[in-house]
Chain A
Amino acid sequence: MKKTIFTTLAVVAIALTSFTASAQKLVSTKTHFKFFSTTPAEDIQANNYKAVGTIEKTNGDVVFSVPMQSFEFEKALMQEHFNSKKFLDTKTNPKAKLVGKIVDLSKVDFTKDGTYPVDVAGELTINGVTNAVKEKATISVADGKIALMSKFNLTLNDYKIAFKKGKPSTNIAKTVEVTVQATY
């Protein structure tokens, strides 16, 4: 009898633990990534709504996986350039990825409505090139809904995205602005 009670308790405990563990991870499939480049020649932007992201509430792990062919440009030719081997080589590297951590997680109270500015540090992989990054982001909590916003600059040369000659070299900025929006 004692054994049965013990077993039941153990099962309940395990079930509860695994339940809490899965409840701590926030998943976002509603996202928006935007690239914005500005030069005297022209402004170019590209939008992507298909990234997937997670935040682990317990340790602050932040991950985003971005399908590169989902970036949409106004002009078809720009989109072709973007995808091509010379630039982002999206056939070889279909996804870009951020694996980071909210370094000041103690500032965030996921249970309380508010806006929490944080720093996210980690590694960003684009075009098969990985660099260490540290960027500012904002976590917001409203009616239990959690969202992440961030805006940062990306130096294309750091990711071996080089426009040496022709129109792209004069019309695309060396540093582009990236805007991230995600609801979890």
Chain B
Amino acid sequence: MTTKKKIFKILLIVIGGAVLIGGGVGYYMFNKPARDVQSTKTDFSYKASEIVNEYLADAKKANAKYLAENGESKVLEITGIVSEISEDFNNQKVILLKADGEKVGVSCTFTSETNANTLNIQIGDQVTIKGVIRSGASFDEDLDMYENVIIEKSDIVSNK
């Protein structure tokens, strides 16, 4: 085999390898699964009233702090009193953390995998829920009501 042929062969292998790796990475990126919120490290832990008040004080600043541009926003652990338990159109459990007398709370949506963990929760319980923040609390003039902080992909962390 001449040197030229050898170089050509090595070049082919290198290029072939690069195309395979590139294609593999591209394929992985395109099909990558959604982030697993529950196995993601918690960014902040608050009482329900703390995150609500931070949003009511300055929503713009809070959005800059908690929302991510690609939608993978901060993972929070929120502790509060269960004031409502319901179910959405996707059969996901929704727990509203809001103390008596508070005008707005934190609405936490569970998933088909975590729904079962809410079954022993009762109104009035103090619980800690981990999930990803989707939007903050605010007073909406058109609705003429307060909107809750929204947490999704939730699971129960502790139930005292």
- Could you tell me if A91 and B88 are in contact, using CB atoms closer than 8 angstroms? no
Contacts of B80 in A (CB 8 A): none
Count of B residues near A, CB < 8 Å?
35
Q: Is B100 an interface residue (CB 8 A)?
A: no
Some 23 contacts from A to B, beta carbons below 8 A apart, are: A30-B86, A49-B89, A50-B134, A50-B150, A52-B147, A53-B143, A63-B140, A65-B143, A69-B67, A69-B71, A69-B134, A70-B150, A75-B32, A77-B29, A77-B31, A79-B71, A80-B70, A80-B72, A83-B69, A91-B68, A94-B135, A94-B136, A95-B135
List residues of chain B with CB under 8 Å of any chain A CB. Answer: 29-35, 63-64, 67-73, 86, 88-90, 92, 94, 107, 109, 134-136, 140, 142-145, 147, 150, 152
For chain A, which range describes its interface: under 10, 10 to 19, 20 to 34, or 35 or more residues? 35 or more
Distance in angstroms between the alpha carbons of A49 and B87 in the assembled complex: 10
Determine the residue in chain A with the shortest Cβ distance to B69.
A91
- Could you tell me if B90 and A65 are in contact, using CB atoms closer than 8 angstroms? no
Task: From the candidates B64, B94, B143, name the one contacting A52 in the complex (CB within 8 A).
Answer: B143
- Could you tell me if A30 and B68 are in contact, using CB atoms closer than 8 angstroms? no
Q: Which of B31, B140, B143 has the most chain A CB atoms closer than 10 A to its own CB? A: B143
Contacts of A82 in B (CB 8 A): 71
Contacts of A83 in B (CB 8 A): 68-71
Q: Which of A52, A79, A84 has the most chain B CB atoms closer than 10 A to its own CB? A: A52
For the A-B complex, the count of residue pairs with Cβ-Cβ distances under 8 Å equals: 97
Contacts of B136 in A (CB 8 A): 94
- Could you tell me if B143 and A50 are in contact, using CB atoms closer than 8 angstroms? no
Determine the residue in chain A with the shortest Cβ distance to B91.
A49
Q: Is A134 an interface residue (CB 8 A)?
A: no
Distance in angstroms between the alpha carbons of A30 and B92 in the assembled complex: 11
- Could you tell me if A49 and B70 are in contact, using CB atoms closer than 8 angstroms? no
Contacts of A150 in B (CB 8 A): none
- Could you tell me if B150 and A67 are in contact, using CB atoms closer than 8 angstroms? yes
Distance in angstroms between the alpha carbons of A76 and B29 in the assembled complex: 9
Q: Which of B30, B72, B142 has the most chain A CB atoms closer than 10 A to its own CB? A: B142
